[in-house]
Every structure is written in C-alpha cells, then in structure tokens.
Amino acid sequence: MPRLQDIHYLSQPTVLSCSPSKESNEIYARGLGSDMQVVNSFRKFGLVIPTLNEAGNIPVLLDRIRTALLSLDLDYELLVVDDDSRDGTQDVVRKHADADPRIRLLVRRGQRGLAGAVIHGWRYTNADLLGVIDADLQHPPELLPDLIEGVQILPMVGTRHGTPFRD
C-alpha cells in the first residue's frame, strides 16, 4: 500500500511524491478524516516524469495518470523530461502531446540524472503544486488524487528518514 513520503509544505510551490509502504498508508488514512477541511488551494499541478528509454511504458503511464486526475477539479500539466533516449521515447511522447496540450516534452542532451531531470522540469512549469513520478510504473498513478487531497487538507506534512543505527 502507498504512503505519503517527502511531502513538504512550502509557501509556494509545494512538492509531493509517494512510494509504497503498508504501515505509513494506515497512518495517512487515519489522518484524513471526514472532518478535515481544505486549507490549501492550488491552481495548477505540474507532474514531472523523468525518462530514459521508456517508450514502452509511456503510453500506459500517461493514460493512467490522466484517468487518475479526471476526478480532480485542478488544472495540470505532465512534463516528460527525457535524457535523450534512443528507443523512441520522444516520438511516443510527441504523439501524446499532439493529442493533449497538457503533455509537454523537454529533452536534455548531454545530461543525465534523475534529480537534474526533476529540477529541469520544475523550472519549466508555472504550477504551484509540483510532483514527480517514475516512468517505469513502480509508483501507482491512481494515488495522485489522494496525495493532492492530503496536501490540500494538511497545512504542513513532513517525513523523517533515518536508520535504526545511531551515529
């Protein structure tokens, strides 16, 4: 089951991401009761999708993301940041972008790396809620509405990372 991870409330923009964990999902679900009220209102969600040779995954991923976001009353854009793939990823994204103007392709030549791709994508959006999702389908896009709702309800959410060992 998924959990909130690395969600940080910033004045603007706000950043969110998720990864699977049954234990944290239970904590998250208890925190979002029906008596909670929206305290943050966002105009636009910008989701960065870093890619390198993901032509086979992109159609399924984009369809799942768009389906998941249908339930939200929120403008969004999907920014595919490609590190100069050689498998046709860019052509696949262009085909989808031609059919849906909310999809944008940004190509980085001579650059590699997940963090750099994410930052690059965030620089090219005017969204006030930012997210990132891997293109390899390891994170379920169907969780995006819950994550966005969580950020809108909770004025501040944070995570703690550590090890079981003391320094």
The per-residue pLDDT for range 61-113, each reduced to its tens digit, is 999 999 999 989 889 999 999 999 999 999 999 999 999 999 999 999 988 88
Q: Which domain holds residue 26?
A: 2-153
Q: Is residue 117 part of a domain?
A: yes
What residue spans of the chain are helical by DSSP H?
Answer: 22-31, 58-69, 89-99, 114-123, 144-153
The answer to whether the pTM exceeds 0.85 is: no
Phi/psi at 145 (5° precision): -60, -40
**Pairing mode, if any, of strands 129-132 and 44-51?**
parallel
The per-residue pLDDT for range 127-164, each reduced to its tens digit, is 998 999 999 999 999 999 998 888 877 655 555 556 66
Q: What is the CATH number of the domain that holds 85?
A: 3.90.550.10
How many separate domains does the chain show? 1
Of 151, 163, 152, the closest CA to residue 7 belongs to 151
Q: Is residue 21 part of a domain?
A: yes
The arrangement of strands across the sheet holding 2-8 comes to 2-8, 14-20, 129-132, 44-51, 75-82, 103-107
